[in-house]
């Protein structure tokens, strides 16, 4: 399989879905003439024209609202947020309207919209541009939340998201855009709500998603090399729906759990996971569940300090040793 970047994989998914379905359109700030703030949509305006690749004003409330309205009439908009931090400007549109329209209409109206863009720290853009809102989004019934870690997953999951009849919030990572991975040239999709075991193991389950998957794999390699510890790395891929069965099966194999996420610790996705595991698999646990999260403070602007604020391979390595002590 060819090696392509995470950015290119997303672009391929968009292009294939634009070819497949004439109702798919892309809307967002600078997605057309500027080729995208992160060059994800590079070349799409020239190929598909301004009626399908649409530059919008700098008004998330305005263009997200327009996309939701269009989706209720049969269009399948893919909306790009320059930063997911700006979702709060369109909170009412996303989480009050899009999330509830099918329920409020008694199933008569779907809202097949995808909202995508980066949601991460690690790029030194400060506290107002570094949010990871997957926990807030997933708290609302009626939506789906996806956080891909690899180029392969990003393409397959995005194609499924575009075809889904519910609102799908697709959270990417700026740091991952240049990461390369093997991606098939042919058609494939990955179902939403199915986790993936990125590395099998027997001594410890690391449950994670997004960029933290790569950090967890690096820590797992070090644990194996230095301590002969066999670590299983479970990539959730989807936050909602959540693949609880794969998580619990991993816990039953290893009996020890470390949850790793680029979220603040209070009321995070990891907090929900810890509750679910102890409720459903308490007798399988041979040690308390541990967590590695972002240190509980606004995103730190200093580059070297931000590295330590976020999960990193060394922090994961040290916490894994504590779980196994």
Question: Which residues on adjacent β-strands are paired with residue 25?
Answer: 77
In the chain, the N- to C-terminal Cα span, in Å, equals 41
Task: Dig out the tokens for 319 from the structure.
Answer: 């916490």
Task: Dig out the tokens for 178 from the structure.
Answer: 């240049």
How many CA atoms are closer than 13 Å to the CA of 260, on its beta-carbon side?
Answer: 34
Q: Which of 161, 151, 87 lies closest to 118 in space, CA to CA?
A: 87
Identify whether 60 is a catalytic site residue: yes
Catalytic residue selected from 129, 131, 215, 290:
129
Catalytic residue selected from 8, 29, 60, 80:
60
Return all residues near 196 (Cβ < 8 A) that are at least 6 apart. Answer: 153, 234, 235, 237
Beta strands in 271-324 (DSSP E): 290-292
**Residue 180 and residue 136 in contact, taking contact as beta carbons nearer than 8 Å:** no
Return all residues near 149 (Cβ < 8 A) that are at least 6 apart. Answer: 176, 198, 209, 210, 211, 212, 213, 214, 235, 237
Question: Which residues on adjacent β-strands are paired with residue 168?
Answer: 114, 144
Identify whether 12 is a catalytic site residue: no
Return all residues near 297 (Cβ < 8 A) that are at least 6 apart. Answer: 309
Catalytic residues: 60, 129
């Amino acid at each position: 399989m060819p090696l392509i970047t995470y950015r290119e994989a997303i672009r391929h998914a968009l292009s294939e879905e634009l070819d497949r379905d004439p109702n798919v359109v892309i809307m967002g700030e600078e997605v057309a003439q500027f080729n995208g703030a992160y060059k994800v949509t590079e070349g799409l305006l020239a190929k598909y024209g301004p009626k399908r690749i649409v530059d919008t004003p700098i008004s998330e409330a305005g263009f997200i609202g327009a996309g939701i309205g269009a989706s209720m009439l049969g269009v399948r908009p893919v909306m790009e947020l320059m930063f997911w931090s700006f979702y709060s400007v369109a909170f009412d549109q996303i989480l009050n309207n899009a999330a509830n329209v099918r329920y409020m209409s008694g199933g008569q109206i779907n809202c097949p919209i995808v909202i995508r863009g980066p949601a991460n720290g690690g790029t030194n853009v400060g506290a107002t541009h570094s949010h990871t809102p997957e926990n807030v989004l997933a708290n609302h019934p009626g939506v789906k939340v996806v956080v891909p870690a690899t180029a392969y997953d990003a393409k397959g999951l995005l194609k499924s998201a575009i075809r889904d009849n519910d609102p799908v919030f697709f959270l990417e990572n700026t740091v991952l855009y240049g990461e390369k991975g093997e991606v098939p040239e042919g058609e494939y999709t990955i179902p939403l709500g199915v986790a993936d075991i990125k590395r099998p193991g027997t001594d410890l389950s690391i449950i994670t998603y997004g960029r933290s998957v790569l950090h967890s794999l690096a820590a797992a390699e070090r644990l194996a090399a230095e301590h002969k510890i066999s670590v299983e790395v479970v990539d959730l891929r989807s936050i909602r729906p959540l693949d609880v069965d794969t998580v619990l099966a991993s816990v039953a194999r290893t009996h020890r759990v470390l949850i790793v996420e680029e979220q603040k610790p209070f009321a995070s996705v990891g907090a929900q996971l810890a509750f679910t595991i102890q409720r459903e698999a308490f007798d399988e646990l041979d040690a308390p569940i541990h967590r590695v999260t972002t240190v509980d403070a606004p995103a730190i602007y200093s580059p070297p300090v931000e590295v330590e604020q976020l999960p990193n391979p060394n922090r994961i390595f040290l916490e894994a040793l504590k779980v196994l002590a």
